Structure 1
């Protein structure tokens, strides 16, 4: 059998081209997956899958026109779980709470760090509905050891002012009051929250007296 050198060369070139094309396509898909994963990691909390601070900031412009209520939520009783039962149990509690928030909240949920979360509530958010959310959070959480633990939440609410940083500052101040007074839920009040957060508290210092007063009727 006589093989035409030209035909053989053409076939070889074609096969090489096919291999290169397949490799290029595979590389392109791999690169896309890597970029997608990188974007997700940059905007989401790795433990809970919730938005992180960057993701919350990216989401805010899409939700701000709805004039949402902003909430800052801090867990009470989490530290003993983490300290006495180990970090694995603490991580499980955070994951379960994140899942409850994700399914209960219409808007956005972010983990700010540790056991502190931020919520952007785009549906009607009155004190009754937020207290129902607090009750949901307080439901017992089964651990892998067979034990059950319970954590509660202190929640501060603030109507949107159009600026996410301001709204979070108001909500954080209200949350701190809810925690220190044991009320569980508090709405930002320029008079009641006109204080500097104690330096012993890990949160950034908030001097609410320097912030403009905002109405609370939207969440009262």
Structure 2
């Protein structure tokens, strides 16, 4: 084997080793990125989870997004009647409809969702969202079920995401108690006092009223 040929073989071997090392580095970085991404996503629905919502807030806070809390009405009867798999189908469908918001949608846990709205008219956007959520969901069995939503809205708070979520959650409780559908936070009417018992009434699946108003 000549020196020239030997040099070529050694160069090719070094190049192959370098490429392999680069590939392994890329693979490790990609896996780490995917792991990081998975910690920010809800495993069932694919939308942001609480951590993902917090990260999105850090990026969007300068734009002062409205904070929305969505709690499903009539979800428990779906689970009780059709099983948890059917409930998962409904949650996934609701999450898909939430993706249409101009902003970031998240699942906080159970049947509670949230969003950061960048819409110039958040009340109108919330009404559209309520109507979308109320559309029937067809289960794999062929049965169509419906849930509705109680939605609380709150403006961005200088105190941060947790404070804005607390405001939106207080408004959501009033929306649920009054069956108003969509309610904007009012500091004179909504407080954050933790109730001694869950004030949410026993719910059942029902159709959305023809008009969902925004109560203050």
TM bucket, shorter chain: 0.7 to 0.9
Aligned residues: 200
Q: Which of structures 1 and 2 has the larger relative contact order (alpha carbons within 8 angstroms, sep 6+)?
A: 2
Let me know the Cα RMSD of the aligned residues: 2.1
What's the TM-score, normalizing by structure 1?
0.82
Unaligned runs of 5+ in 1: 203-218
Query: Over residues 1-58 of structure 1, what are the superposed CA-to-partner deviations in whole Å (9 max), with x where a residue is unaligned?
Result: xx44x55654553343233123212201211210110121111112111111111111
Alignment map for 1:195-206 (pairs within 5 Å): 196-201=193-198
State the alpha-carbon separation in 1 of the partners of residues 70 and 4 from structure 2: 72
Query: Over residues 50-96 of structure 1, what are the superposed CA-to-partner deviations in whole Å (9 max), with x where a residue is unaligned?
Result: 11111111111322222221110011111221232222211111111
| 3-state SS of paired residue (2:157) | coil
Structure 1 equivalent of residue 117 of structure 2: 121
1:29 corresponds, among 17, 26, 51, to 26
Structure 1 equivalent of residue 163 of structure 2: 166
> Rg larger in 1 or in 2?
1
Structure 1 equivalent of residue 212 of structure 2: none
Query: Over residues 85-121 of structure 1, what are the superposed CA-to-partner deviations in whole Å (9 max), with x where a residue is unaligned?
Result: 2222111111111111112x11111111111111111
Contact 1:52 1:111 in 2 (8 A): yes
State the alpha-carbon separation in 1 of the partners of residues 13 and 128 from structure 2: 64
| 3-state SS of paired residue (1:43) | coil
State the alpha-carbon separation in 1 of the partners of residues 97 and 125 from structure 2: 14
State the alpha-carbon separation in 2 of the partners of residues 195 and 13 from structure 1: 71
Structure 1 equivalent of residue 210 of structure 2: none
What's the TM-score, normalizing by structure 2?
0.84
Q: Which runs of 4+ in 1 moved over 4 A?
A: 6-9
State the alpha-carbon separation in 2 of the partners of residues 95 and 125 from structure 1: 26
Structure 1 equivalent of residue 86 of structure 2: 89
Contact 1:69 1:125 in 2 (8 A): no
Confirm whether residue 58 of structure 1 aligns to residue 55 of structure 2: yes
2:129 corresponds, among 129, 133, 151, to 133
Unaligned runs of 5+ in 2: 200-214
Deviation, 1:196, is 1.8
Change in Cα spacing, 1:13 to 1:152, as seen in structure 2 (3 Å) is: same
